Structure 1
Amino acid sequence: MSTFLHRTVVVLVVAVLGVWLLGSRVPSLVDASPGGGTADPQAPAQEPGHHRKHAPSGPEGVADDQLGVQLSAHHSDRPGPALAVLDRLARAGATWVRIDVGWRTLQPEGRGPFELWYVDLLDAVLEGAKQDGLKVILNLWLTPEWASDSGSPYAPPRDDDDYADAIRRAAERWGDDVDAWEIWNEPNFDSFFAGADPATYTRLLCTAYPVVKQYDDDPVLFGGLMYNDDAWLRQAYEAGAKDCFDALATHPYVGPSDAAPDTPAVGAVWRLTHTPAMREVMADFGDRGKRIWVTELGWSSGPDSAGNPWDRAVSPQRQARFLREAVELIRNRYPYVGPIIWYRDVDGPTDDYQDGFGLLHPDLSPKPAMCAFEREVRGR
């Protein structure tokens, strides 16, 4: 590829993906408090309503305990929608669920006790996940206005200790309910972590890591990188990240967005098949023993966005096929990768491309991708 064409593609990727990612993959900040108040992290969790626990099932083959789903149904001021979705995911055989939590919503006014209404919501959702036998990855991100110079939720905190205080309180309260802690979301993407600076992120990661470990020995994840960005990862290692995480999270979305999972990498970071490059960086720094977790991966079955190559939808049937092919590719080629988290649980409320990543329709009826997910879980 010529230098000019390469630069053109990179500019297109950054510009278009900024719209795509901000439109479809940023969780609601849940700013409207239905009552306000703060919560002591040591207070007992509120008891949610009765929630049925499902025994794992695997009528054929060997059940895959590495598959999970990103939860979006908790972007609400009440737990009911999330509990219904968790129940459905458990019946499908999911083992993991990734739950994003807004630091901005936990501590909107400053350091100190968490917002009571949000704690009540998270208590109920985490208890629901536990009752359904689902392991939880908790991703803490989105900076409160008071904690950054710009006031943007995507700005790095002015003081890393402020973030450490929040995740300390979270680990103290929810350590028994969380199975992995993910530090931020896509810090290599400027629109999600202003500046996208590896050294800045490494300082945040290394401040948070020992604080979590004081309360919970479960894995701390290097926050999911957008794509298999091996160059950015190398810079983070050079800044001292090696001893500050237990596993590396990536979001290896494939571009163009209707391309198949096995599309050759040819040096492009926006390919699932570029995964070995991440492994090579880890090996260079003596981290071959750490696993790579895919904490987001998916294809949208929503309509195209004006034919843009980064917003090209696939049919519901192809979405299902790509899910199966991606899982089987990872199983067969990359034994050091897993868990694998599909983005996401439920389609959004519109027919937009951005709202088409779900396994379920908004009424929780299954899309073909859900049927494919169930088959992969059960090894059929």
Structure 2
Amino acid sequence: MTGLVASAPACGFNPAAEAETSMVPLSEQVVGISTVATMQPGTDIGREVDAIASVGVNAIRVSAKWNLIEPDRGGPLRWGPLDAAVRAAREHGLRLTMTLEGPAPRWAQDPSADPAANGNPPLDANDFGRFAEAVARRYSDATTVWEIWNEPNIPHYLDPPTVATYIPLLQQAFSGIRRAGSVAPVLTGGTSSNLAGTRDIDFIRQLYDGGAQTYFDGIALHPYTFPLPLSFSEGQGSIVDEVRQLMRSRSDDGKKVWITEFGQPTGSTTDSVSEDDQARILSDAIRESREVPWIGGFFIFNTVDLVVEPSDEDVSFGLFRRDYTPKPAVDEVRAVLDE
């Protein structure tokens, strides 16, 4: 997740374009919470997943961060945090979406790359394919959806943020997952609504132009609109419909759109919202997504505030405060899921 820069008029979801609106049963749609617990050393992962389950969602999205799992070429893979998250998800009966993301470990990067950069890709995409295969062999029984990379259209996560860089990663990861025997859907990396790199709709259009549709089963989006609601914002609220229309134009509308991150920060910045507004915006977005049959899943970002710092909007997206006391959004989301 990164900050939002709006650019285009919104149209929100437009389910009437394809079907009459009616609530999709929760048993037929994924509604979950995206956690960063597997990337945060020292996180009590059991407590985090307990909190997620208490909201009443049916899924969890976790990250398999390549540089943390395979820091040394040929060395032992460090599965500990991911094992803990998968085990806890199973205990709660949560469906698992796993995002395979970078940066590449230092040994796999271009030697001239800045070692401190978060967006470094591998020099050889085949290395990422082998990593994806190893992850899939370990977790294919638990994982219901795979997502390839995180926000590959902005340099913070993939540098350069181009389809020329990303398509080989997607292709190799898809192939590695299938070699491991997993038949679970593979999603494109959720594109950012930040305009720091390649605009999300342009990036996805270029994926189609580059022939990538053979290597994904659905398209993932991060259509952040804060501090405005998803349906009525001036900006990236329209991306959901834009992408759907693009998929239809490419005869690819048998696949679904997945919102793998959406949230509202409750800090003190101009782009933040009150806790009550967060509750309203999130519950309305979930309700509306459940009226759209071509939305495969909706994930709230994220579980808990990362630190107590109201002046930094990036750390205050949690449904729970830093001490795990619930914000009003917890009750509102739970109520929507009971509808």
Fold-level similarity (TM above 0.5): yes
Secondary structure at the aligned position of 1:179 is classed as strand
Corresponding letter in the other structure for 1:94: V
Q: Deviations over 1:7-42 (max 9, x none)?
A: xxxxx939xxxxxxxxxxxxxxxxxxxxxxxxxxxx
Tell whether 2:278 aligns with 1:314. Answer: no
Report if aligned partners of 1:82, 1:125 keep a CA contact under 8 Å in 2.
yes
Residues 213-362 of structure 1 aligned to structure 2 (within 5 Å): 213-215=178-180, 216-227=182-193, 229-254=200-225, 257-263=226-232, 268=235, 270-271=236-237, 273-304=238-269, 307=270, 312-332=271-291, 334-352=292-310, 353-362=313-322
2:38 is aligned to 74
TM-score, normalized by length of structure 2? Answer: 0.84
Higher RCO structure (Cα 8 Å, ≥6 apart): 2
Q: Which moved more, 1:83-92 or 1:294-303?
A: 83-92
Structure 2: runs of 5 or more not aligned? 7-23, 194-198
Report the number of matched residues: 305
Aligned residue number for residue 103 of structure 1: 66
**Alpha-carbon offset, residue 264 of structure 1:** 5.2
1:169 aligned counterpart, secondary structure: helix
Structure 1 residues without counterparts, runs of 5 or longer = 1-11, 15-60
TM-score (norm 1): 0.76
1:174 maps to which residue? 139
| Conserved 8 A contact 2:186-2:217 | yes
Residue 155 of structure 2 aligns with an amino acid whose one-letter code is D
Give SS of 2:147's match. Answer: strand
The residue type equivalent to 2:261 in the other structure is E
d(CA) in 2 for partners of 1:98, 1:112? 27
Q: Is the 8 A contact 2:129 2:175 kept in 1?
A: no
CA distance in 1, matches of 2:261, 2:185: 17
8 Å contact from structure 2 (residues 148, 188) kept in 1: yes
Which structure would you say has the larger Rg? Answer: 1
Q: For residues 29-72 of structure 1, what are the alpha-carbon distances to aligned partners after superposition, in whole Å with 9 as ceiling and x for unaligned?
A: xxxxxxxxxxxxxxxxxxxxxxxxxxxxxxxx965652100112
Q: Deviations over 1:96-125 (max 9, x none)?
A: 11101210011112245413xxx1222122
CA distance in 2, matches of 1:77, 1:350: 17
Contact 1:111 1:166 in 2 (8 A): no
Distance in structure 1 (CA, Å) of the matches to 2:290 and 2:200? 21
Percent identical residues: 30
2: distance between equivalents of 1:157 and 1:172?
Answer: 21
1:338 counterpart SS class: strand
Residues 121-170 of structure 1: per-residue CA shift (max 9 Å, x gap): 22122111111101111111121112111133312211000101111111
